[in-house]
Structure 1
Amino acid sequence: MQYASFLAPNGSETWGVVIDEVAHDLGPSGLNLAATIRESIEKGIFGTDLDLTGAPTYAEAELTFLPSLHNPGKIICIGVNYRAHQEESGKTGQTAPTVFTRFADSQMGHLADAVKPASTTKFDYEGEMALVIGKDAWHVTEEDSWDYIAGYGAYNDFSVRDWQKAASQWIPGKNFPSTGGFGPYLVPAADLGDVNELTLETRVNGETRQKASVSDLVFTIPQLMAYVTGFTKLNPGDVIVTGTPGGVGLFWGEGGLLNAGDVVEVEITGLGILRNTVANEIN
């Protein structure tokens, strides 16, 4: 099942299930089962067998997508967590995950512009897989970690490299407005099977730049769950963005970084294609 957050035809924020390119409105402008996908997770109805009878429907092609979860309490991002990316960046031998935060209001949805800040010449892509927490998670063991995951989605952690590299802390380069692409869908964990078998691919203007199996993660999903919940409590609807493979623009070579008009796609098996076009910031 593919869940999405979007604007209804009347402009209100809502959410629903997309089946055969038709969105069934389950939010405030529809069946009103919950205000947001996050609330549907909190109420325990996300990923369950829902009765769609009477739900307003809209053609997917006409939707204005919002970030799959546009109101998470926390977005925890993991850096250099694929072997090839560690090697290209010279950051091998880590004994613990690299962790930074992204603010919820820096996100945008599928088909929205990725805004290149006027203050940078080094705008980059990072295709990633995000997981969403399904219940209160604190000191979760690796063995129990899968039970705490509600679902997964594609993510693009667009990065402002000069701001990121200016100091040891990455937060400034990861939180400009409209630089965190999330979507188009959030897919329940139960619908995906073994996520280690999924393939992540990032394309720029149709050219494949990144391609890796989720099994190539240095710190696995259970290890990330145990580590992150070892220092902060996670709540339903919180997000962990698990890392990007090798092939980011910074190390791709001449012309690897992004400019206005570039179309970036992140495709993950079973999770759809997240597509964003780069646009220059308008002062």
Structure 2
Amino acid sequence: MHRKIKIILNPMADMGNAWRVARDLRSITEQHGGIDWSGTVYPGHAIDLAKQAGEQGYDLVIAMGGDGTVHEVMNGLMQVPEERRPILGVVPVGSGNDFGHGIGASIKPTEALTRAIDGEPSTVDLGLMTDERGHKEYFDNTLGIGFGATVTIRSHQLPILRGFLMYLTAVIQTIILDHNPIRMQIELDGQKMEESIIYLVLCNGPREGGGFLVAPDAKIDDGVLDYAMITNVSRPMMFRIVPEVMKGTHGRFKQVHLGTCKKFTLSADRPLYIHADGEIFSGPGTDIRKVSFEILPNALKVIRG
């Protein structure tokens, strides 16, 4: 069956390298014929473009960029009624490419694009966040609260570095400069607790930051959210734990709590910094203190690698 295909490109992904990659892929799209391109020009633009693609009858929308581009495209597709919702394809050309890793997409753009065009879809789960205002946001890979969001903000201020090294540098800066635990009241699947938390990540996929195995057992189609939580620890202890996160062995520390749930709710004693798939949902100047999360099994059709 011939698919009507739209590629949504973030030309600025990977410090502008995505534009050069896309230029080299034009011959593949021309061979298949009838593939349309759209480029993003402002934050959130890919959401609008993906939603429009669904309304215009496209069968497949390919996100070409980093995790942020995939996040926006996915959120746009989820605004389309399920019966008309396009399939998602991914050509990972960003800094972290963690969702691409989770679905097995090739790191070679030519192979990733060919697979996205010709491959058969399967369903993946998505996470859904709802804040105290009723605003909703989907996430496909990870969502970080506090420490992880601050790392994301700091990584955006490191234009010279790329990929894993960029995130690692931002982690080190955050441990030194922003080591501030948050008092949280948490309810997960009916179980209540109150803790001072320095690090909290909800995971649909296993890794973030280009290689930190936050939830090594997480799978994007298992019907549950994984979580990784580090209670209040010292800076030296955080420096001890971080190398273990890279290997996925941090669960052996008593201050680290790993688990799974279907619903997760929290309220905090101060405004929360939150990132969803590396995109800042709330940061400086916001005042969100209560959020809830749930897993949506088999929510989206995706071409896997």
Greater share of helix: 2
Tell me whether the two structures share a fold, i.e. TM-score over 0.5.
no
Q: What is the TM-score with the length of structure 1 in the denominator?
A: 0.27
> Rg bigger for which structure?
2
